[in-house]
Structures are given as C-alpha cells and as structure tokens.
C-alpha cells in the first residue's frame, strides 16, 4: 500500500496530462491576409483564436474574436486592412510546447486572461513553428477524463 491520499493520487494524475495528448489542430492565416479573410476563416473553421504565421509557419501573431470585432467597428474596408496591424504580436504572445503540462497551460490562460495558446516547436533557436492549439475546451476535456478516471 502506497499510503498516498486521494488528493495526492489525483495530483499525480493531473501532472501526467501533457499538451501533446489534448492539443487540437491549429488554424492559421498569413500576415498578408486581410481582416475580412480572417473573419471568414474563423467562421469556416469554427475556432475562437487564429494564429498568424509567415510562409514557413513561424508564429508572428494571434487574432481573437474581439480583435476582429474591434477592427470591424470602424468604417474601413475590411478587405483592405491586413491582419498584421490588428493582431497581438511576438514577443507578447503566450505559447507552449507539446511536452508541457496541461495544468501549466491552464495557469497561463488564467493569468493572461486568454482563451488559447499556440503549441510551438523551436526552429533555429530563434523562431517558433506553430504545430498545435490548446484552448479552454481542450482543458475541459482533460477535466472530464480525470473525473472518468480514463488516464493512461
């Protein structure tokens, strides 16, 4: 008998939940896309956060629903505004790696008051290629798995 309490065992299970297992496919647009294109992409792909990448899939920005709504309030032509002028850009983007713990992603989402993080891998030690997406919905799924004791 291990002598571990129920909460200790639960904590151990929580610390086995990695981004790798719970991440989703990222939905991206390039920095030359218009705000109009980004709105279409958000609806078509049914996501709340888009990642802005260069032609090598390297992370350069993030677009949320409110970023796109804000840009749509003005009288400007949405086809003529590039996403690069409204996105949140590097180095102000919170991101994670596939080896990271889901619980650490949850802490970051709360701390930064955001809905999603891009999952990245380092390229040449300076750039970050977008390989996934982890959102509050993915974390809710992890919680349900814990309750159902469906780990491992």
Closer to ligand ADP by CB, 101 or 114: give it: 114
Contact call for residue 66 and ligand ADP (CB under 6 A): yes
60 in Cβ contact with 140 (< 8 Å): no
Residues 74-133 that bind ligand ADP (CB under 6 A): 88, 92-94, 113-117
Q: Return d(Cα 72, Cα 62) in angstroms, integer.
A: 17
Using CB under 6 A, pick the residue from 13, 65, 98, 127 that binds ligand ADP: 65
Query: Shortest Cβ contact with ligand ADP: which residue?
Result: 66
Question: Which residue number, 44 or 147, has a Cβ lying nearer to ligand ADP?
Answer: 44
């Amino acid at each position: 008998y291990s002598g571990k309490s129920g909460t200790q065992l639960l904590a151990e299970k929580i610390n086995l939940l990695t981004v790798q297992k719970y991440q989703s496919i990222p939905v991206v647009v390039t920095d030359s896309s218009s705000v109009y294109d980004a709105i279409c992409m958000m609806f078509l792909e049914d996501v709340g956060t888009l990642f802005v990448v260069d032609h090598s899939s390297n992370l350069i920005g993030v677009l949320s629903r409110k970023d796109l709504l804000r840009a749509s309030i003005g009288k400007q032509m949405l086809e003529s505004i590039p996403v690069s002028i409204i996105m949140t850009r590097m180095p102000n983007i919170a991101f994670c790696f596939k080896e990271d713990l889901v619980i650490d992603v949850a802490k970051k989402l709360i701390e930064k008051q955001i809905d999603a993080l891009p999952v990245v891998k380092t390229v040449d030690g300076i750039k970050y290629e977008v390989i996934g997406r982890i959102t509050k919905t993915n974390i809710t799924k992890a919680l349900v798995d814990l309750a159902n004791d469906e780990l491992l």
